[in-house]
Chains A and B, each alone.
Chain A
Amino acid sequence: MNLFDIVGPVMIGPSSSHTAGACRLGLLSAGILGGCPRKAEILLHGSFAHTYKGHGTDRALLAGLMGWKPDDARIPQALELAREAGIEYSFKPGDLGTMAHPNSVLFNLIGEDGGTCRVIGASIGGGQIKVTNIDGFPVELTGVLPALCVTHRDQPGAIAVVSTYLAHKQINIASMRVFREGKGGIATMVIECDQAVPPELVKHMEEFGVVHQVRFVDKVL
């Protein structure tokens, strides 16, 4: 932790996990969708389900989806302002299973362009977050660094194709993990980078034979 993790961050209260972390989960999910959603169905699990009104978790999640940061003074009015912006949203308590972190949320999002995504994430304390599932595939995304989520066929050389391309484009990989459900099926690489990856590179990578889909998700911390 550095000095401004201790005296800071500046945030809208009352809770770093239930308010600031919730806002970041919204931001990261909007980043995964590729923009502010037109429709958002939000399921709250565990402590999020119990205390979301008192902590303003609902407002903070929506604020994040609209691209606002945790210190945005408009967060208390996020429900009204989202409605005015024409965003269709709903919150309901639910159960994501015994393995889910107590501060978990599931987003079903539809974007302006009709694109969709289903994101599960958790606020794990002190405003830190973790997205653990995108569209049914396990991942681990923290929003600390810009990241690429690459779904691809699980076959020899797939990782080399992507990492070689990034090396060629001078994008430095800070960390990389591969998640797969079974051998030879669909896998997801989560590649954290030291810099943002421009859209044209993302598009180019989607043309690789082994690659199904590439999402660039910017950092939110």
Chain B
Amino acid sequence: MRRDKLAWAQLVSEAEAKGMALFDYLLERNAVQMEMDKDSVFRKMEDMLQVMEDAVAFGLTGVRSNSGLTGGSAKKLKDYTASAEHKKQGLLGPVVGSAVIYALAAAEANAAMGRIVAAPTAGASGILPGVLMSLQEHCNVPRKKLVEGLVIAGVIGEVIADRASIAGATGGCQAECGSGAAMAAGAAVYVLGGNGRQIDDAISIVFKNMLGLVCDPVAGLVEVPCIKRNAGSVVQSILAAEMALAGIGSFIPADEAIDAMDKVGRALPQGLRETAEGGLAVTPTAKAWTENYFKGIRG
């Protein structure tokens, strides 16, 4: 018998029916599923957070990718943010500003063969570290709470993977960066004291703003536009979390927004799903660079 697909709303109401706090219920549910005890799940998730923090630190040193196409932007933005010029006319506030810097750092660490957590994928691995580390720095969120937030994020990702996909080759960038942003938005709402219903709203708001985003990597590398999309995704993530925390509901429930993302992903032409045969990947500049790059490899 085919089991029902995972649904965020269902998980929230199951927790309520059992009279359990949402986090406790989700932790227990996953521990049972993975045949691990709850402490081990928590400790393993804490290890994930540590790898994320290390990746950000590595990225902030200004690393460049093997191909030479990208690198150094996290450090550049960090230096600019600290400058007198930025103090006068800086556009991003502290929370979004730091989140963008850290997201760029982790994404650039990934492109430079650093050690990262694929969350949900390597290409979208900057979003969760970006959002969570900024909240830790600016909103006094204790580390334990961040780890709990990662568990919440992971469960949101499970729902997305079950109902739709987290692979760019299947659903485009909306499935990778979109899912990463939805996971991070849910985690942000949770660590700042929001409830399951508000997490639902935040997930839905993210997909409203990221639906249809295509996967079009130049030369097929996880660099252009992936790194900057990680930066853009944290902005969407924080925006959705803030709106949800303000009590702005989303007309479309999260599970239905995820289903919509799945349908849009299937409707995307093959050329816009990680094949490097559409979008930015086939612009004249990208094509010229790619041709040169392949020539270099083939000697």
Among A6, A11, A14, A93, max chain B CB count under 10 A is at A14
Alpha-carbon distance A51/B293, docked complex (angstroms): 9
The answer on a CB contact under 8 Å between B221 and A54 is yes
Minimum distance in angstroms from A44 CB to a CB of chain B? 10
Alpha-carbon distance A119/B241, docked complex (angstroms): 48
Interchain CB contact (< 8 A) of A13 among B44, B128, B183, B222: B222
Q: Which residues of A contact B115 (CB under 8 A)?
A: 10-13, 71, 73
Contacts A1-B161, A54-B65 given; indicate if A14 touches B121 (C-beta within 8 A): no
The answer on a CB contact under 8 Å between B48 and A7 is yes
Interchain CB contact (< 8 A) of B154 among A3, A51, A59: A3
- How many A residues face the partner with a CB closer than 8 A? 35
Contacts A51-B219, A53-B297 given; indicate if A15 touches B122 (C-beta within 8 A): yes
Q: Does B157 contact A (CB under 8 A)?
A: yes
Minimum distance in angstroms from B113 CB to a CB of chain A? 4
Contacts A13-B222, A14-B113, A19-B113 given; indicate if A3 touches B118 (C-beta within 8 A): no
The answer on a CB contact under 8 Å between B167 and A125 is yes
Contact digits for A100-142, partner B, Cβ 8 Å, 1 yes 0 no: 0000000000000000000000000111000000000000000
The answer on a CB contact under 8 Å between A6 and B222 is no
The answer on a CB contact under 8 Å between B157 and A14 is no
Q: Does B30 contact A (CB under 8 A)?
A: yes
Contact digits for B34-51, partner A, Cβ 8 Å, 1 yes 0 no: 100000010011011001
Alpha-carbon distance A9/B115, docked complex (angstroms): 10
In the complex, the number of residue pairs spanning A and B with C-beta atoms less than 8 Å apart equals 135
B 270-299 contacts with A by CB, 8 A: 293-294, 296-298
Alpha-carbon distance A72/B167, docked complex (angstroms): 24
Interchain CB contact (< 8 A) of A11 among B47, B118, B161: B118
Name B114's closest neighbour in chain A (CB-CB). A13
Interface of B (DSSP majority class) = helix
Name A91's closest neighbour in chain B (CB-CB). B297
The answer on a CB contact under 8 Å between A7 and B116 is no
Minimum distance in angstroms from A81 CB to a CB of chain B? 14
Alpha-carbon distance A3/B152, docked complex (angstroms): 10
Q: Which residues of B contact A52 (CB under 8 A)?
A: 297
The answer on a CB contact under 8 Å between B113 and A12 is yes
Name A75's closest neighbour in chain B (CB-CB). B113
B 158-179 contacts with A by CB, 8 A: 158, 161-162, 166-167, 169
The answer on a CB contact under 8 Å between A4 and B44 is yes
Alpha-carbon distance A7/B153, docked complex (angstroms): 8
Shortest 8 CB-CB contacts between residues of A and residues of B: A13-B110, A6-B157, A54-B67, A7-B154, A14-B222, A3-B154, A76-B113, A54-B221
- Give B residues with C-beta under 8 Å from A: 30, 33-34, 41, 44-45, 47-48, 51, 65-67, 69, 109-123, 125, 128, 150-151, 153-155, 157-158, 161-162, 166-167, 169, 183, 219-223, 293-294, 296-298
Chain A to chain B contacts (Cβ below 8 Å), 11 pairs: A6-B120, A6-B153, A8-B117, A10-B51, A11-B118, A13-B113, A13-B122, A47-B220, A51-B220, A59-B113, A126-B121
